[in-house]
């Protein structure tokens, strides 16, 4: 047998690990497989909170994973973690960015985030990817489109699945914002899924709501019809470069005229319409200057604190709704009565409102 035929095609994962081999031409195999990897134990809330406050990115990622978990035991730990960190949160500029698919949200955030990091700010990006209603899976690929920002030492990017939640945000986006603020980030950017009118939910989570538009795709009138511009603090027509520059400027003027029909009370922010190119960087600096102007005016007129109070109230109401849904599932969601009424509604034998009333009454929620 040629010694070259006994090649070590298998290498142990642990350096220095001893094993016995059976010599087979062309292959060396271990007598036993390495010990399987063990799952990392969950950190105690106090330990995890201290590490997050110290700026440990790994701890921040583990904290977000903990609050996103559906396990009941993890929910208790997550609530304790939030109880510890909420008093030290709230210092970041919360900016929500939405827009139709193809508007260039990730590329825009990459360019904006890099500029902010170069200016000495710490930037956290909470990117939400759509989940499949069939497989419930998500690609979580937004981070790959933020190549430059992902290399910045003062940036943190966390993609999360939407889990088919309405509003274009993840199930625990509000809690993730708290953790990022407790970790000392100056700016927290929430990038939504970008699927339509339901995107407005993010408006109740951030201080400044930015909508990205594109010209030349029939998006101008559709954007006005959606009504989303009524909630936008800043409209940005992206991809204003090359042959699209003229169309982008025309779209900016069209949106500007549309905004004049929206009555804004004295002293409140007048939404601005800008153009930029995330590819060339043109207009990025002006866009952030407008964001800073928004924050300055909001703080001066008390709108900033008022919006934060509204956010806290919206968070409370969403948790109550979620708690009621979970309570219903625990009480009657898997009982025969639910299946029976569900079958009658499907067949048309029973109207859906009547079926819902019966189930809620059976669960103890009088209607």
pLDDT by position in tens, the chain (length 367): 444 443 333 333 333 333 344 444 555 555 555 555 566 677 899 999 999 999 999 999 999 999 988 888 888 999 999 999 999 999 999 999 988 778 888 899 999 999 999 999 999 999 886 544 444 444 444 556 788 999 999 999 998 765 545 444 556 889 999 999 999 999 999 988 765 545 667 888 899 999 998 876 554 555 554 567 778 899 999 999 988 899 999 989 888 887 777 767 666 888 899 999 999 999 999 999 999 999 999 999 888 999 899 888 888 888 888 888 888 888 886 778 888 999 999 999 999 999 999 998 888 877 6
Contact 64, 77 (CB under 8 A): no
Residue 363 CA to residue 333 CA, distance in Å, equals 9
Nearest to 210 by CA among 274, 264, 146: 274
Looking at the structure, tell me whether residues 229 and 348 fall in a common domain: no
Same domain, 235 and 261: yes
Domain interval for residue 336: 312-362
Of 293, 45, 60, 76, nearest to 188 (Cα)? 60
Output the CA angle 94-117-102, nearest 5 degrees.
65
| b/e code 148-172 from CB counts within 10 Å (16+ = b) | ebbebebbbbbbbbbeebebbbbbb
Q: Please indicate, yes or no, whether residues 130 and 269 belong to a single structural domain of this protein.
A: yes
**Rounded to 5 degrees, what angle do the CA atoms 108, 112, 114 make?**
120
Q: Are residues 208 and 219 in the same domain?
A: yes
- Global pTM reads 0.79
Let me know whether 249 and 115 are in one domain.
yes
pLDDT of residue 15: 38
Residue 83 confidence (pLDDT): 95
Indicate whether 285 and 146 sit together in one domain: yes
Name every residue whose Cβ is closer than 8 Å to that of residue 239 and which is 6 or more positions away in sequence: 103, 104, 214, 215, 248, 277, 278, 279
Instruction: Indicate which CATH number applies to the domain containing 81.
Output: 1.20.5.170
What is the rounded CA–CA span in Å between residue 96 and residue 205?
8
Query: Residue 25 in contact with residue 6, Cβ under 8 Å?
Result: yes
Structural domains of the chain, count: 3
CB 109 within 8 A of CB 203: no
């Amino acid at each position: 047998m040629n010694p070259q035929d006994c090649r070590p095609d298998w290498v142990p994962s642990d350096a220095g690990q001893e094993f016995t081999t059976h010599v087979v031409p062309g292959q060396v195999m271990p007598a036993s497989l390495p010990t399987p990897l063990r799952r990392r134990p969950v950190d105690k809330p106090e330990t995890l909170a201290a590490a997050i406050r110290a700026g440990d990115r790994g701890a921040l990622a583990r904290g977000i994973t903990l609050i996103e978990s559906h396990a009941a035991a993890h929910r208790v730990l997550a609530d304790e973690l939030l109880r510890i960190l909420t008093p030290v949160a709230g210092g970041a500029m919360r900016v929500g960015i939405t827009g139709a698919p193809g508007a260039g949200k990730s590329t825009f955030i990459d360019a904006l985030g890099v500029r902010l990091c170069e200016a000495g700010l710490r930037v956290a990006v909470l990117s939400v990817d759509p989940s499949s209603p069939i497989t419930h899976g998500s690609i979580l690929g937004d981070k790959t489109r933020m190549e430059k920002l992902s290399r910045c030492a003062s940036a943190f990017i966390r993609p999360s699945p939407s889990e088919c939640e309405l509003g274009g945000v993840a199930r625990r986006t509000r809690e993730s914002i708290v953790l990022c603020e407790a970790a000392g980030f100056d700016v927290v950017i929430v990038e939504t899924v970008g699927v339509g009118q339901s995107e407005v939910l993010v408006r109740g989570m951030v201080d400044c709501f930015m909508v990205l538009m594109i010209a030349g795709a029939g998006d101008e009138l559709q954007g006005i019809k959606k009504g989303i511009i009524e909630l936008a603090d800043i409209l940005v027509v992206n991809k204003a470069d090359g042959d699209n520059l003229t169309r982008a400027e025309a779209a900016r003027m069209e949106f500007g005229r549309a905004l004049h029909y929206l009555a804004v009370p004295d002293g409140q922010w007048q939404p601005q319409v800008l153009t930029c190119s995330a590819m060339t960087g043109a207009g990025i600096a002006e866009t952030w200057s407008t964001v800073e102007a928004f924050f300055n005016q909001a703080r001066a007129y008390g709108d900033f604190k008022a919006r934060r109070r509204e956010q806290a109230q919206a968070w409370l109401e969403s948790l109550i709704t979620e708690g009621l849904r979970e309570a219903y599932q625990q009480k009657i969601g898997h009982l025969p009565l639910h299946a029976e009424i569900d079958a009658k509604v499907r067949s048309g034998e029973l109207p859906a409102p009547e079926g819902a009333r019966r189930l809620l009454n059976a669960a103890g929620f009088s209607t």
